[in-house]
Chain A
Amino acid sequence: QSVLTQPPSASGTPGQRVTISCSGSSSNIGNNIVNWYQQLPGTAPKLLIYNTNQRPSGVPDRFSGSKSGTSASLAISGLQSEDEADYYCASWDDSLIGWVFGGGTKLTVL
């Protein structure tokens, strides 16, 4: 029962655009930035999007983030097989005074 709500799975074919949603509340997403992490099997999460819509150096511009109110989204365009991974949203929670995460979305490239 994660504080942030994500769909457990998403899928798409190569070249398609997929979006992953992340729903929170006024104490987290509504009042703070959102970060997204990509986790490949057997590895640690890696920062994918920071400050809601910024990409770290080396992350392709196929990945983009946005936020509206208490929800955020991660969009992946031009889907590639190497994008198959688990994706997590995260935000600081002012009530819990700590980082909160989504339950993760497993992306399958068909």
Chain B
Amino acid sequence: QVQLQQSGPGLVKPSQTLSLTCAISGDSVSSNSAAWNWIRQSPSRGLEWLGRTYYRSKWYSAYSVSVKSRITIKADTSRNQFSLQLNSVTPEDTAVYYCARGPQWLVPWGQGTLVTVSS
């Protein structure tokens, strides 16, 4: 079955870049039937979809308008994983970040990474 394993730092300084990786087992990041998503959860904002990347003969990415100017989601086919980069973070970006497989429903989810933005 598909499993997602997240990695990345739990503490990021304000104005710096948040970077997380989601390693895939049991599926291919280049699958023509999957979409690879990032979602975050905080007490103030609840569950918030950030964006996704997927392959349909070429690579596509789509982002939430709330973070569109600061976010990049990319696939790494050599390592069968995908990544999240969120630039210019502020304390408002403190949240638990999840990766998840789509496209029509999100399953499975990664284990979650608590990222705190603080100096």
Bitwise, B22-56 to A at CB < 8 A (1) or not (0) is: 00000000000000010100000011110100000
> CB < 8 Å: which of B104, B109, B110 contacts A46?
B109
Of B37, B46, B110, the contact of A44 (CB 8 Å cutoff): B110
Q: Name the one of B49, B107, B108, B112 contacting A99, with C-beta atoms under 8 angstroms.
A: B49
**Would A100 and B105 count as touching, CB distance under 8 A?**
no
Tell me whether A33 and B104 are in contact (CB under 8 A). yes
Q: Which residues of B have CB within 8 Å of A102?
A: 46
- The count of A-to-B residue pairs whose CB atoms sit within 8 angstroms is 54
CB contacts (< 8 Å) of B39 on chain A: these are 99
Q: At the interface with chain B, which of A14-22, A68-76, A90-98?
A: A90-98
Interface string of A49-61 (1 = CB under 8 A from B): 0110000100000
Q: Among the listed B37, B49, B107, B112, which residue makes an inter-chain contact with A47, where contact means beta carbons less than 8 Å apart?
A: B107
Distance, CA A33 to CA B106, complexed state (A): 12
Least Cβ distance of A58 to chain B in Å? 11
Give the complex CA separation of A17 and B94 in angstroms. Answer: 37
| Complex-state Cα separation, A44 to B47, whole angstroms | 11
Residues of A within 8 A of B110 (CB): 44
Nearest A residue (CB) for B49: A99
Tell whether, in the assembled complex, residue B64 and residue A45 are in contact, meaning their CB atoms are under 8 Å apart. no
CA distance A6 to B39 in the complex (A): 19
Option from A2, A50, A97 in Cβ contact (under 8 Å) with B107: A50
Cβ of B111 within 8 Å of any chain A Cβ, yes or no, is yes
- A104: chain B residues at CB < 8 Å are 46-47
Task: Please give me the 7 A-B residue pairs with the lowest Cβ-Cβ distance, nearest first.
Answer: A99-B49, A101-B47, A44-B109, A50-B105, A47-B107, A35-B105, A98-B49
Chain A residues in contact with chain B, CB under 8 A? 2, 33, 35, 37, 43-47, 50-51, 56, 88, 90, 96-104
12 contacts between A and B (CB under 8 A): A2-B46, A33-B104, A35-B105, A45-B109, A46-B107, A47-B105, A47-B107, A47-B108, A88-B47, A98-B62, A101-B47, A101-B48
